[in-house]
Structure 1
Amino acid sequence: MKPAETSQIAVIGLGSMGLGVASTLLRAGRTVSGYDPVPEACAKFEEAGGRLATDPAAASRDASVVVIVVVTAAQTEAVLFGTDSHEGAVATMRRGGVVLSSATMAPDDVRRLAERCEAAGVDYLDAPMSGGMARAASGELTVMASGSPAAFALADPILAIMATTVYRLGDKPGIGASFKMVNQLLAGVHIAAACEAITFAKRLGLDINKVFEVITASAGNSWMFENRVPHVLKGDYSPASAVDIFVKDLGIVANMGLAAKFPTPVAASALQLFLMTSAAGMGRDDDASVARLFAQMTGLDLPGGAKAK
């Protein structure tokens, strides 16, 4: 298929990342249809100029590229193959088209979904993303992709718009997912460590705004410290990435380690912190809420209060 034939695109999942991807494609002059079950997300998509559909199958009708930006393997499967109430994207998209699947999931799930797509005459690119909401909206994502040469040929023009860095990691779906899980191990550990550090500083009686200034200019800094600690300083835990995302992702890491007989003790500790934060009622709040968990356990008063939203 020629790149010119990839002008009709569907984006399924219009949350913080998906909306950014869709908006970037629209700004590039692409025709984009989309679907999300959340009305607020749909309204923002329409405001950006997208064509809203009633379900994944309607959004994907005759599309040559379907970008799936949901959270779990189960959600991806429902988008692709439908449920009791609606058809899936594979039933209506163009034969010989390509699915760009970006949910963070276990490699075994990726391989299973890819086999089903390929049996139906659709290519599957394992394409997890990294970069967060802001980079999705600016077309500056990093994509860890694996799949057949045919899948890459179809997806390359779209990836060039969505991302500044695309790693071609192999010709088999599942490799990209494995790379993403290494990233998620580090991301989850770094968020948990950042939250522990900033609340430890508060316990020491330090000015945590000054701590942020000093650490971001020092060797102890991390991308996650620099990105997440401002949420704590503002007392704003509106979810850019929710606590339950890392309950899921670090759970996958734990299961992969178990299957490989490889210990992941630091990731396991971080998983327990996210799990405790979720159990305390903050699962849908920003993942920097781990700092609120520390504050609640130790009686600290963070900006906005330990229960800030």
Structure 2
Amino acid sequence: MEVWLQTRGVTHDYAFLGVAPPDYWWTAPLYKDATSFEQPTLILERLPGGQWCCFISAIPSSRRDRVNTRIRYSMALSGNVESDQRVLLNLLAYVLDIFKNNPVSEDNLLTRLLDEEVGAHADEWLGGNQEQAKIHINGLKQIFVDLKSYSVEPQKLREEFLGLLSNAPSSPSVAAMLNFIGRRKEPSAEQLQSQVERSQKKILILPSPIAGGQLAKYFILTPSTESGNRNSFLLGSQRDNPTTESPDTTRQSTLVRNDKPKSIADFHDKQMMIAVIIVVVEFLTIGWYMLAN
């Protein structure tokens, strides 16, 4: 498993400690248009070949900057499903336990571990001591391995994560907590749905408490071409439920023109307007003729 950690010091601004990840994949429009990375965000992607990548932003620190603003941690991670799944799911459980509340609290195990490992050295490492930073960031991997076992709640959400990582049939390929989305029927979710249509990625959405959401009310955005019906929003607990509703084959993909016949009232209104115009023209013509003679 690879780990990259971003934070700031008292005098140095936010940057990755040691080395930066090779790809800032989480900044793709699919994600960045639906969240602020300064607030709790979680994105997990299943990749080909049994690989995965994950981005977590805004884990709180107990440290403060020069203007007394709370400092935060963000992490990019990548790994192999077979060898790293247990560690990843355990870490996600701790992260979601922090992110389930709004505002988040710095009184948690992850904050204490990160502050102890990084906090006192952040300015030194961000100022150029990259070798020491690399050593301590590598040490984070073992810290995450040694974390006490903790389970994602609710249990059904854990099953969704397992399905995603194992590439189970009909499972999403992405799980995300995006802090502009708290419910499935709101403009931000609809905007993301349009992005899903283009990317063809099925996304498990964890409603953000920042937007008024609750983890237990997670749902799945599915490309309409895959779902084959009008409803691309599938609740996690409803995904496998049978339905008697067949796909709507009556809908047209072409633009619908408004060719409705005009009403009788509209017809008479136009006739009246034409008559008025004729009278005005005749009046002006007579007036001009009288003046000319």
TM-score, normalised to structure 1, is 0.27
More helix by share: 1
TM-score, normalised to structure 2, is 0.28
Q: Between Structure 1 and Structure 2, whose CA radius of gyration is higher?
A: 2
More strand by share: 2
- By relative contact order (CA 8 Å, sep 6+), the higher-ranking structure is 2
